[in-house]
Amino acid sequence: MGATKLRVAFIGAGQIAEKVHLPVLSQMKDKVELVSIADTALEKAERLAGKFSIETTFQDYNEMLSRVGPDAVWVCTTNKFHASASLAALRSKCHVFCEKPPAMNEVEARQILTAAEEEGRILSFNFNYRFRGETLAIKKFIEGGELGEIYVCTAQAIRRRGIPGWGSFTNRDLQGGGPVADIGVHMIDLALHLMDFPEPKSIVASTYRKIGNRKGIGLMGKWDPHGFTVEDSAFGLVKFRNGATMIIETAYALNTKERSVMNLHLHGDRAGASLFPPEVYTEMHGELIDINLPFIETGDGHKRSIEAFVENCFGNVSPIPTAAEACVVQKILDGFYESADLDKTIEL
């Protein structure tokens, strides 16, 4: 790594790079230098290079890695290419910050974990909900013992009619799945994080394609029902070896009241909690009480996630999602879809 700045390159010039990662990194000029961007659609890379003052562009990321030699690489590709791009960057001696999900399956996730360990490089993922103010606040209650033993949680990532009308989100071959792999993965990771990553034992799940395979009203653009090959809703139950249980509810399209729900409900033997908004449910002085936290500075989870990774690249160690944790998340994603496809409980 350079003496004063982290030389950062991008693989993938899509919306997540343009709207989330590049704006944050471009404001970190004292620590970060944006040196290159690669995309198979070269014109997309060139447009972002112009917008964010990035010096070089490439169509082949392997050529970019060889010729530019960045310190760190942001992987913002379609899910199918997360593992191959991350692996190439790690083998080129780069730290890697990858979008979620980690890979298409656990085998791929473990391959990049192994590469990171062998190369002595940092590998992390944009599980940005860990860095939200609500999460940090509730985590203090958990670490303080106020919730006691957390034995049940419900992870929710539900949209009433939020099928993405752009990109490849509705293509299972390219994405690995629908809402479970796209938005549900955030709440699954968050639940595991707050439960201290218990070891999963088994999973039973069901997926449905009842709305996305026909035309309808969309709140996130129009989608092609004929090319819709993912689930539009999914529900599952994970059992852990410590006896705890996680219920997963996720949907791109579900006939429900709320436009969108992203939340986590934790139930401990001393108290319970929800994250969005942050609340704690307990008893005190012979009364049942709810503790609201209305003054939490929520902050930008994406920004904090990116900043934490950059700091780790400089040797300033702070908690970030690890590759080993990502493998547990990926194991649950794999088991979820396997259970739904085979219609049986899967031992993990």
Beta bridge partners of 72: 8, 95
| Res. 2: pLDDT tops 60 | no
Sheet strands side by side (includes 95-98)? 56-58, 32-38, 6-11, 72-75, 95-98, 123-125
Give, as one character, the DSSP assignment of residue 226.
G
Fold designation for 130-303+329-347: Dihydrodipicolinate Reductase; domain 2 (3.30.360)
Q: What is the pLDDT of residue 4?
A: 87
Q: Under CATH, which architecture does the 6-125 domain have?
A: 3-Layer(aba) Sandwich (3.40)
| Averaged pLDDT for residues 63-84 | 98
Please state the pTM of the whole predicted model: 0.96
Average pLDDT of span 197-224: 96
Percent of the chain with pLDDT over 70: 99
Q: How far apart are the first and last CA of the chain?
A: 39
CA 110 vs. chain centroid, Å, equals: 17
Strand 150-159 with 245-251, pairing: parallel
Distances (CA, A) of 69 to 38, 55, 90: 13, 13, 11
Sheet holding 245-251, edge to edge: 287-292, 279-284, 272-274, 260-268, 150-159, 245-251, 233-240, 200-208, 346-347
Query: Of 318, 326, 297, 313, nearest to 25 (Cα)?
Result: 313
Distance in angstroms (rounded) separating the CA atoms of residues 229 and 234: 14
Q: What is the mean pLDDT of residues 18-23?
A: 97
Pairing of strands 6-11, 56-58: unpaired
* Mean per-residue pLDDT, 330-348: 98
Tell me the average pLDDT of the chain. Answer: 97
Task: Give the integer Cα–Cα distance in Å for 74 and 172.
Answer: 23
| pLDDT value of residue 3 | 59
Can you name the residues that pair with 156 across neighbouring β-strands? 249, 263
Q: Any idea what DSSP says for residue 129?
A: G
DSSP 234-303: EEEEEEETTS-EEEEEEESB---SSSEEEEEEEEESS-EEETTTTEEEEEETTEEEEEE-TT-----HHH
Is 9's pLDDT higher than 90?
yes
User: Which residues pair with residue 282 across a beta bridge?
Assistant: 289
Q: Is the pLDDT of residue 155 over 70?
A: yes
Overall average pLDDT of the 125-143 stretch: 97
Of 207, 210, 206, 214, the C-alpha closest to 254 is 210
- Are the C-beta atoms of 37 and 44 separated by less than 8 Å? no
Q: Read off the pLDDT band of 180 (50, 70, 90).
A: very high
**pLDDT tier at 84 (50, 70, 90 boundaries)?**
very high
Stretch 194-217: mean pLDDT: 97
Asked if pLDDT for residue 1 goes beyond 90, the answer is: no
Domain definitions of the chain by residue range: 6-125, 130-303+329-347
What percentage of the chain exceeds 90 in pLDDT?
97
Q: State how far the Cα of 187 lies from the Cα of 301, in Å rounded to an integer.
A: 13
pLDDT of residue 297: 86
pLDDT in tens, 265-322: 999 999 999 999 999 999 999 999 999 999 998 879 999 999 999 999 999 999 999 9
* Pairwise CA distance, residues 215 & 209, whole Å: 13
91 pLDDT higher than 60:
yes
Helix 82-91 vs helix 106-119: crossing angle, to nearest 10: 10
Q: What is the pLDDT, as a whole number, of residue 298?
A: 83
CB 234 within 8 A of CB 250: yes
Q: How do residues 218-266 score in pLDDT, each as one tens digit?
A: 999 999 999 999 999 999 999 999 999 999 999 999 999 999 999 999 9
